[in-house]
Amino acid sequence: MNFDVQMLRWYIAVAEELHFARAAKKLNIARTKLSAAVIDMEAELGCPLFSPGVSPTQLSAEGREFLVTARARVAEDEVRLRAEAARTAAEAATLTVGFTEGVTPTKWSRIWAERFEDIALELVPTTVDTQLDLLRSGAVDAGFVRLPVDRDGLSVVALYEEVPVVVVPKDHAVAAFDRIAVTDLADEHLLQSPEDMPEWAAVATEIADGTALPVPDISSNSELVEYVAAGLGLAIVPQSIARLHSRKDLVYRPVDGVAGSTVALAWPSEKNTENVEEFFGIVRGRSTRSSRGKTADQTRKPNQIKKPAAPSGRTQSGKAQSGKAPRKAGPRKRPKR
């Protein structure tokens, strides 16, 4: 029979005490409730667990046999509970954060180490293709991602937007300008899908006249940059990506008219743990005073916060305690002679 573990614990207590009143006191429950639970168990098993009409209370043969089974099931449950507790403790002692290419989490990891020395922060590099897989599989607790993403089951908070830049060979005409408009790239060939760069696709000559070359199968930003260096086309990427893959034979310039790349922090909504909350606070600039390390005054309720003592003879509001207006100070008159 599949009995609740709590009921099995109750039965074991009665079987060991052989006294319902003592067992009820030990379990801190009402004796009537304990008796009713045992009666229900006997009805479910179809046999008496205690010898009827015998005083003091004695186990029946079936009761002794069932006691072995009950103890085994309770022991199994305790093993399971200990394993869950150990797993929870291990998870609480570590926070794993993914960061997509171009994001530098050094500042936040340094602040975390200063505030939570007992909780390790593990950083896992990701890409636009892997950032959601690691979040949904539980491989990371939270992650810096590039939008847009499928938000189903996720909490996503936008953090900042990066400037888009065009990466070109050093001797390209674009290199002569400090920044350009996307319309200035109308006659250029981009090594990216038109769907990924709709602003360029809307003005691109090769799209309009149907002469666009097929986009090569590029698996990474480093490979994309290699294609640009080889003179096979240009690329528009977030500034941090261009900086990460910078090389002496390439330059990058800001592009006006192209949407920026938004970086966000995301985590599974059902796993909004205290560690994730704390890390999110650090990323958003929360100070230690609003984190776990609250001062005594901050943890008090508003009506518990002590006000500074008023000067002698005055209340907190600054009024004289007697209710009379204070005498104004003025020049002292000389006594008449």
Tens-place pLDDT, residues 130-144: 999 999 999 999 999
Per-residue pLDDT tens digits for 306-337: 444 444 444 444 444 444 444 554 555 554 44
23-40 pLDDT, tens per residue?
999 999 999 999 999 999
Question: How confident is the model at residue 93, as a pLDDT?
Answer: 82
Is residue 238's pLDDT more than 60?
A: yes
Q: Is residue 275 part of a domain?
A: yes
Indicate the average pLDDT of the chain: 86
In a domain, 300, yes or no: no
Select the more confidently predicted residue: 193 or 89: 193
The model's confidence at residue 92, banded by pLDDT at 50, 70 and 90, is low
Could you tell me if 16 and 83 lie in one domain? Answer: yes
Statement: the pTM of the whole predicted model exceeds 0.85: no
Whether residue 119 is contained in a domain is answered as yes
Same domain for 273 and 133 = yes
| Residues 202 and 244 placed together within one structural domain of the fold | yes
Q: Check residue 74 and give its pLDDT.
A: 92
Q: Is residue 271 part of a domain?
A: yes
Least trusted range by pLDDT, from 28-32, 171-175, 292-296 = 292-296
- Residue 193 to residues 184, 217, 222, Cα–Cα distance (Å): 18, 10, 17
Name the domain count of the chain. 3
User: Shortest CA distance to 156 belongs to which of 143, 165, 167, 171?
Assistant: 143
Residues with Cβ within 8 Å of residue 211, at least 6 apart in sequence: 205
Query: Using an 8 Å Cβ cutoff, are 235 and 225 in contact?
Result: yes
Of 105-119, 275-289, 295-309, the poorest mean pLDDT is in 295-309
Together in a domain, 151 and 20? no
Same domain, 199 and 285: no
Residue 112 included in any domain: yes
Reading the block at residue 121, the tokens are: 């922060």
Please tell me the distance from the alpha carbon of residue 292 to that of residue 336, in angstroms, as a whole number. Answer: 71
Question: Residue 293 pLDDT more than 60?
Answer: no
Is 64's pLDDT higher than 50?
A: yes
Over 80: is that where the pLDDT of 100 sits?
Answer: yes
**What's the pLDDT band for 290 if we cut at 50, 70, 90?**
low
Residue 337 domain flag: no
Question: Do residue 231 and residue 242 come from a single domain?
Answer: yes
77 part of a folded domain:
yes
**What's residue 337's pLDDT?**
42
- Quote the pLDDT of residue 87: 73
Residue type at position 25 = K
CATH of the domain at 244: 3.40.190.10
- Residue 263: CB partners within 8 Å, gap ≥ 6? 100, 102, 103, 144, 145, 146, 147, 158, 159, 160, 161, 162
CATH number for the domain harbouring residue 24? 1.10.10.10
Q: Which comes out higher in pLDDT, residue 324 or 240?
A: 240
Residue 238: give the domain boundaries. Answer: 164-259
The predicted pLDDT at position 2 comes to 77
Residue-level pLDDT at 185: 97
Which residue among 55, 88, 121 closes a domain? 88
* pLDDT value of position 157: 97
- Quote the pLDDT of residue 305: 36
